[in-house]
Structure 1
């Protein structure tokens, strides 16, 4: 299982949407409950985002590979979660 890093902003509506999809997908597939998702708020923890190359939030990295950046959909979030299970 691979670690997921999720870069967010507190007031970002797309980040909230991504969290909603994650919760929904975890209810649908218990395997996703095992995943370790490290959430980093770029304003609160700027030192933790050094080395990540992105422009939009939410951004998802699976290990050190960017899996998605920007407006999420349920299908996109599912692909991110699935890639971490491999």
Structure 2
């Protein structure tokens, strides 16, 4: 499993939505709870956040690679977790 980093801002409605989808997905897929996950508050850890190349939050990185930036739907968050779990999506 690859580690996930999620960059957020405390009062961002898009971040709250992504976190809600994330919680729903972790309930639906309990095995994903084993994935290392770090939620970084951009305001609280500004110096660290500045070392990453993104503009919009929420922003997901998997194993150091940016996979999603900006408003996220549940399918976007699911794709991040599938990538971290190294699962393929059947289309």
Partner of 1:15: 15
Query: How far apart are the structure 1 equivalents of 2:53 and 2:73?
Result: 21
1:42-53 map, 5 Å? 42-53=42-53
How many pairs does the alignment contain?
86
Partner of 1:25: 25
- TM, length-normalised to structure 2: 0.90
Query: How far apart are the structure 2 equivalents of 1:48 and 1:55?
Result: 14
1:32-43 map, 5 Å? 32-43=32-43
Q: CA shift at 1:54, angstroms?
A: 0.5
DSSP-derived class of the 2:75 partner: helix
Structure 1 residue runs of 4 or more that deviate by more than 4 Å after TM superposition: none
Give the gaps of 5 or more residues in structure 1.
Answer: none
DSSP-derived class of the 2:54 partner: coil
Give the gaps of 5 or more residues in structure 2.
Answer: 87-91
Q: CA shift at 1:37, angstroms?
A: 1.1
Q: CA shift at 1:50, angstroms?
A: 3.0
